[in-house]
Structure formats: C-alpha cells, structure tokens
Amino acid sequence: MVVTFGFLSPARGPMLHSQCCPEGDRASVSIITHPGRNLGFHMDTFLSETLSSCDHHHMEAGNDTQISEFLLLGLSKEAELKPLIFGLFLSMYLITVFGNLLIILAVSSDSHLHTPMYFFLSNLSFVDICFTSTTIPKMLVNIQTQSKAITYEGCITQMYFFMLFVVLDTFLLTVMAYDRLVAICYPLHYPVTMSPVLCALLLLVSWIMSALNYLLQSLMLLWLSFCTDLEIPHFFCEIKQVVQLACSDTILNDTVMCFSAVLLGGGSLAGILYSYCKIVSSICGISSAQGKYKAFSTCASHLSIVSLFYCISLGVYLSSAATHSSHSSATASVMYTVLTPMLNPFIYSLRNKEIKKALKRFFGMAAAKGLIVLGLKNLM
C-alpha cells in the first residue's frame, strides 16, 4: 500500500483519496491536508475499507478471467451405469458410421444410382457420419478416462461443427423434398431441371449458409465472459447450455439463436411441407392405383426420415420446455443426435429396392475380388 500526503491552505479541510491499483495487490491512498490540522481521524478504518474495496475489485475481475475448460456432466452420475452407457453409445456410433458408409459406397460404386436423389442421399449419409462424430467420440473418451473436461477451444469447435451439420441435415432434407417434387409433379422436365450443375449448386449453397450462420454464432460466444460455474449438464457442448453459463449479458446471443432457429429450421420445414402438399396433390390426380403406389414409393423413404427427424426434434424441444430439466433435455437429445443418423441407413436400405440391389452387387464384387486375391496368393 502506498500512502502519499499533500497540503492545502488552512481554509480547506482534509481530503482523502484512495485508488485501487489494477495491477498487483497494492492500494494507493492519497491524503491531502493543510498545516496546523491534526490527522486525528480513523486511519485504520479508512485503510481497511480501502483494502476491502480493492479485494472486492480483484474478486470481480477474477470472475471474468479467460477460462481454460468446461466440465461435461454427461447423461448419468451413477458410476455403475457408465460401462453400460459406454457400450451402448459405442455400438450405436459404429452402426451409424458403417451403415452410412455402406450407403455412400453403394451409391458411388453403382452407375444406376448416379442420379440426383442418390447424390443427395450419399451426402446426407456423409453429414450424418460427421454429425455423430462431433459428439460421441469425445463422450466415449471422457467415460473411458473418467474425465469430464473439455477445453474452451474444443467446446467452441464442437458447438460450431455440431450446429453446422444439424442445419446441413435440414437443408439436405429440404433439397431432397424438392427433388421428389420435380420427379413426381414434372417428370418430363426432371432430367433438365435437376441437372448436375443445379445439384452441385444446391449442395454448395447449403454448405455456405450453414457455415456462415454458425460461424457468426460461434464468434459471438467469444465475446461472453464466464464465471466460476463451468459445468454443462449435457454430454456435449450444446450452445444453449453454454450461453446460460455466461456472466455477461446474453440477450444478443439469445436473439440470434431464436431468429436462426425460426428462419433456418422453420424455413426448411415450410419448404418440405409445401413440396409434399404438391406431391400428394399430384399423386391424387393419378388414375391407376399402381401408378399411385409407384409414385408414393419413390418418396416413402425420404418422408420416413423427415418425419423421424422433425418429430423427434419437436419432441425433444417440448419435453425440455415442459420439464425445465437439463438432465431430461440431455437424455432426450440422444434421440436426434444418435438414433436418427443410425436409423437412416436402415430406412433407405430396407424400403429401397435399388439400394438393396446395389449393396448385393457391391458385396458380390467384394467377395469375388477377395476370392481372386486369395487364389493368387495360393498360387504364389
């Protein structure tokens, strides 16, 4: 603590000035008085109040310091349940990756599937692999290492890519609905309308819009300051949960999140509903029952995936809003973060004859190549 004295004229009384130093733990106290006056005031009281004020100042500053990590609380605090959770999520993750990878290999290896619908389907499978890979591996590592920590940079990165692939999923489902609209309602114009150039352009626009939107939200998170409570009641860094931990004002973040959800999510859903209204209207106009069945079967798989994705997402939102429980929200979010991407390959492979044929040809070719290689090794 630094104490300085100054003198004024006798007409003026004593004046005290204190200042907390922003650097270090020193308090600077300036005492200005005049000659002939006794310094008989309570210096101890004054100095103690000054030091207390400085300590409070540094404590408040400490709350806004740059943090290094968050703590992911996961789905359950029960230690005996963690091996079960680990095995369950590892199984679902492997099924998701291999199932969607088979869709990509089947589409790329079969020339009969080089059409707009299967082009978007293979991209949807790729996005689903990336979607689950942003959250599940980190969760499995934390369970295995018995650690809850995720770095600040890792949390921001996870949030960005998670929301990027979520929105990209909705955009691809919307584009696929438009593809089915053109195929059923305007079949003669389909080859010209859904040209390779337009398909590539639709995919590029979907990527750019998703990337720019959540790049903005991720950058806005960097402006927030956080206090000592850094526990996220989730198994991944969910943007809403992280924003709620901030000490600073989050009204701008909340507004942008709400606007983004309404514009992107609501806009995509409106596009899908419009497409299927036109499709249903066109199918009803077909005279033969066989023609109606054939037209409907071309979009049945996509309609199943759309219904699954949006119904689960809506159910998660309503359940979290009704219970106001972070743990319930985390448990419900498993449905759309893991279950939906895992079921997509099954829906398309079980309901789509062309995918089934392509997979049989792919495995047949793989088996034949394996036998040839084995025969050559035996001859050598």
Residue 190, C-beta contacts closer than 8 angstroms, at least 6 positions apart? 182, 183
Helix (H) or strand (E) holding 31: strand 27-33
For residues 124 and 344, is the Cβ–Cβ distance under 8 A?
A: yes
- pLDDT, one tens digit per residue, over 213-230 is 888 888 888 888 887 768
- pLDDT at residue number 196: 93
- pLDDT, one tens digit per residue, over 243-273 is 888 888 888 888 888 888 888 888 999 999 9
- pLDDT at residue number 51: 40
State the distance between the two ends of the chain, measured CA to CA, in whole angstroms: 88
> What is the DSSP code (8-state) at residue 247?
S
The number of beta carbons lying within 10 Å of the beta carbon of residue 309 is 22
Indicate the pTM of the whole model: 0.75
Burial of 10 (0-12, 13-18, 19+ CB in 10 A): exposed
**pLDDT beneath 70, residues of the chain:** 1-67, 229, 316-332, 350-351, 366, 368-380
- pLDDT at residue number 143: 87
- pLDDT at residue number 7: 40
225: left (phi over 0), alpha (psi -120 to 50) or beta: beta
Interior CA angle at 359 toward 354 and 362, to 5°? 125
Interior CA angle at 125 toward 123 and 127, to 5°? 70
The number of beta carbons lying within 10 Å of the beta carbon of residue 242 is 22
Query: How far apart (Å, rounded) are the C-alpha atoms in residues 351 and 336?
Result: 21
